[in-house]
Structures are given as structure tokens and as C-alpha cells.
Amino acid sequence: MFIVSVKFTVFNNSKHIYQSIRSILMQKTNFPIEIVVGDDFSTDKSLDILKNLILPSHITIKFIKRPFNGIYHKNRKKNGYAYNAYDTIKKCSGKYIAFLDPDDYWTDPNKLQSQVDFLEKNGSYTACVHEYRYYYEEQGLVLRGNRCNPHISSLVCKNFDPCFLKYLYHPEINLMGDDTAIFLFLKSQGKLKRLKNIKPSIYRIHPDGIYSQITKTEKTYNQFIFIHVIDNIFKKCLGYGVNNNYINAQHFKFLFKSIINNGLIGENIRVESKYTSISFVFLKDILNLLIFKIKSIYLCYAKSELL
């Protein structure tokens, strides 16, 4: 059995994938690692790069078989590109899961060993994270990540509850909600720990990234929809919602911090740090939201199996 599975989803990432995969192969551990590659029908040389690697003895690469017009391909067309992440996590057999996108990378060769050591010794914790850096590739600028809002590239967690995983990559959540949903779920299941002795991971921001291609209005819209959808996921899987007393204001505040700190609502929002009240002064954004994809609102609220 593998102790750690690294979820590694790929789509036309040949420009950055070598640096990313090398940061996994440099990991020094006393346990076996599997890299689970979920390729979304890349047309560049991404898979060729991965298949020609020389692997250390403790690391295995598992390529998920996905024939064109097969079951995965049909589900992928139905559910959107986030289905790749769902299907890849589902194939992870490790006791713990680490996350790395093929345009991001790790800088610490002892990252996985340090995080697994912590989780093995502290059973009440479901996950641990560490610092990260924003790397703005075009500007050559590196900025410190927000400590209140961990990035998925720093996460190692216990493998997932099948019920939660089923709904995590529902089309309504798709791109915008998955990382935040993961952290909210992990916080509801146990404690999260930020480790200070691990060098930061690098979150690369570049024009070819999926997230970079989404407009600000789309990001804002999707986060508002996400708040409603995630509440229903919690009710279905855990028996209580995000607004319920068990999760309480702490978790909801975590969600709002995630939205605000990532700039998803925009510059016209002011947070009262002492209180839970939030002042919204973004009439322009609201008007954009009303105009933007009204049909999608109908699909979310009238046809969603979660609502």
C-alpha cells in the first residue's frame, strides 16, 4: 500500500510539467509514493515527458487509462473539466493524498516526509499545510501567500470520504469551489495544522492557466453560487450544513476569507476584521452578475440535484 498518493491532473502542460514533476521526484521519504496522473486528452508532449522519466525506487507513476469515447470521456463531457480532478482523486489509493498541479511545484525535498510524520503522530488532525508563494510568471514576481488562506499545493490530507468526493466535483462547483470545499470539509472532520519547517510551494500564475482565463465577474458569480451548493453537500454527507451550529461562524468566516483574500469579489469590498459583518460596495459587480449567465442561475437552482 502506498502511504502517499500525489494527485496530478494534466492537460497540455508541456511548458511547465517537467519542473513540477521533478519537484515530486526529489522527495526524500522512507515510504512509497504513487503519482496518479489524470490526463485530460492532452494534444502536446505532456505525457511523453512523464513517460520518459527515470524514477527513484520509492516512486511509482500510475497513468489512468482513459480511452476516447470511453466511460470517462462521456462523463467528462457531461460534467466539465473539474471531473478530471474527481476521477483522479478517486483513483488515489494512498493513506494520504498530496496535491500538485503541473504548473505549480514544490521546493522542499522533505515536504512529504515532514507532513506524513506529523499526521502519523497526531491522529486528531485530518490535514496539514505549509506556506506558499505566488509566482507571477510574466512579471517575474514572487509574492508571499496569504497565511489565512492555504493553497492546495501545500496540502497533505487523509484520503476522502466517498460521499463527499462524489459531490465535490459537481458541475455547479466545478472550478471555483473545489479547493475551498476540500478545506471546509477537512476542517469539519478534524483539525488542520500549518507546519512552519517546510519550504514554500510555488503557485504559478500565468496566462495559460485555467484560472487566469476566467473573468472577474465569472469568479464572483461562481463563488456566490458555491456558498449555496457547498451547504447542501455538507447536509447530504454530514447531516448538517455550513450554517449549522456544528460548523458555525468559524467555518463560514473561513469561506468568506477565502473569497475575499483571493480577490474574487474585487477591490470594492471592506472586511471588518473585528466583527463578522462585511460591507459590500460593489454595485457595478452586482449589475454584471445580473447580466451574466442568467440561464446558469436557473440551471443551478431549478435543476441541481443538490438543492
Mean pLDDT, all residues of the chain? 75
Cut 0.85: pTM above it: no
Q: Compare 239 and 96 and report the one with higher pLDDT.
A: 96
Mean pLDDT calculated for residue range 73-84? 83
Q: In the structure grid, which three cell numbers stand for residue 33, read together?
A: 509514493
85 & 223 share domain: no
Q: For residues 12 and 106, state if they share a domain.
A: yes
Model confidence pLDDT, tens digit, residues 167-213: 666 555 554 446 777 777 787 778 889 999 999 999 999 777 665 55
How large is the average pLDDT for residues 233-254?
51
Q: What is the pLDDT of residue 78?
A: 82
pLDDT at 83 over 70: yes
Q: State the first-to-last Cα distance of the chain, in angstroms, to the nearest integer.
A: 38
CATH classification of the domain holding 143: 3.90.550.10
In a shared domain, residues 141 and 218:
no
181 plus 106 within the same structural domain: yes
Confidence of residue 138 (pLDDT cuts 50, 70, 90): confident
Out of 185, 211, 237, pick the residue that ends a domain.
211
Instruction: Tell me the average pLDDT across 87-92.
Output: 92
Bigger pLDDT: 241 or 17?
17
Q: Which of 146-150, 186-190, 229-233, 262-266 has the lowest mean pLDDT?
A: 262-266
Output the CA torsion 56→52→8→137 (10° steps): 110
Q: How many structural domains does the chain have?
A: 2
Task: Write out the residue range of the structural domain in which residue 278 sits.
Answer: 214-303
Of 154, 176, 211, which residue sits at a domain end?
211
Are residues 194 and 104 located together in one domain of the fold?
A: yes
- Examine the domain organization and report whether 75 and 47 are in the same domain: yes
Asked if 133 and 237 sit in the same domain, the reply is no
Q: Which of 167, 196, 211 is the last residue of a domain?
A: 211
